[in-house]
């Protein structure tokens, strides 16, 4: 029986996600071509693959010189620069690569990529929504716990509702500010609003729980 050849992978963009993906594939014994414009990142990846290339401009001719058109799967990991991501994706699709996956960080970008006829984009968009929901739930828990803490220090926590709300908003702002200086991450105002909404939902949930507990306690006391 003829042995099936192993799939080859291409990774364009060595941000946090792209680097981790390329390293994982290389450590799994896969043949990987990696591309980025930053020399230090490409040099670091050369300990994992012999096919690490510095490409300043992601034109079709420059991409062809790396041999990425021969890959079975190409993953475009430059979601933060929407225009570059879309143009690069179009170039890779035009080369006839069997499977192309592109990172999308917004619904709009995901919609554009889906119209290009890319496989797996519905899953990408779903993952984006899951990450946003996870963020919301994380800050919901923070607001819930902060409000319960206020109950420990005050018998009327509603009077101090601004304290956990302000703490939650500051946490969201700090998180997004840190992402401004993190490679491969992007900071968005909408994320601050989403996180703040999670904090508010957590605070309201805590107030509801405390209200129910008070009603139950008084009901038992009357009995």
In the prediction, which pLDDT does 93 show? Answer: 85
User: In the prediction, which pLDDT does 54 show?
Assistant: 93
Sheet containing strand 31-36, strands side by side: 51-54, 31-36, 8-12, 73-76, 99-102
Residue-level pLDDT at 35: 95
Q: Tell me, what's the pLDDT at 109?
A: 54
Q: What is the mean pLDDT of each run of 10 residues along the chain (223 residues)?
A: 62 88 89 93 92 91 92 84 81 87 65 54 55 83 88 74 86 82 66 88 88 74 59
Please tell me the predicted confidence (pLDDT) of residue 110. 58
pLDDT of residue 146: 87
Burial of 82 by CB count in 10 Å (0-12 exposed, 13-18 middle, 19+ buried)?
A: middle
Q: Give the pLDDT of residue 65.
A: 92
The Cα–Cα gap between 161 and 155 comes to 12
CATH number, span 8-119: 3.40.50.720
User: Would you state the pLDDT for residue 67?
Assistant: 92
* CA dihedral for 169, 171, 175, 181, sign (positive or negative): positive
Instruction: Specify the domain boundaries for CATH 3.40.50.720 within the chain.
Output: 8-119
Indicate whether this model's pTM tops 0.95.
no
- The predicted pLDDT at position 74 comes to 92
What's the rounded Cα separation, in Å, for the pair 37 and 56?
A: 5
Residue 16: the pLDDT is 83
């Amino acid at each position: 029986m003829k042995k099936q050849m192993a799939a080859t992978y291409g990774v364009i963009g060595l941000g946090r996600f792209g680097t981790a993906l390329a390293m994982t594939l290389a450590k799994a014994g896969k043949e990987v071509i990696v591309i980025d414009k930053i020399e230090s990142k490409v040099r670091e990846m050369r300990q994992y693959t012999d096919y690490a290339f510095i490409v300043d401009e992601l034109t079709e001719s420059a991409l062809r010189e790396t041999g990425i058109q021969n890959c079975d799967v190409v993953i475009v990991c430059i979601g933060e620069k929407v225009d570059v991501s879309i143009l690069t994706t179009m170039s890779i699709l035009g080369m006839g690569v069997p499977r192309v996956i592109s990172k999308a960080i917004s619904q709009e970008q995901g919609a554009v990529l889906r119209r290009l006829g890319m496989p797996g984009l519905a899953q990408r968009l779903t993952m984006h929504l899951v990450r946003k929901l996870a963020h919301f739930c994380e800050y919901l828990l923070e607001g819930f716990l902060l409000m319960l803490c206020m109950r420990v220090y005050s018998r009327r926590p509603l009077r101090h509702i601004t304290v956990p709300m302000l703490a939650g908003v500051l946490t969201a702002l700090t998180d997004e500010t840190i992402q401004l200086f993190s490679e491969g991450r992007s900071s968005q105002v909408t994320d601050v609003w989403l996180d703040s909404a999670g904090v508010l939902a957590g605070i309201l949930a805590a107030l509801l729980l405390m209200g129910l507990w008070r009603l139950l306690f008084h009901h038992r006391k009357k009995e």
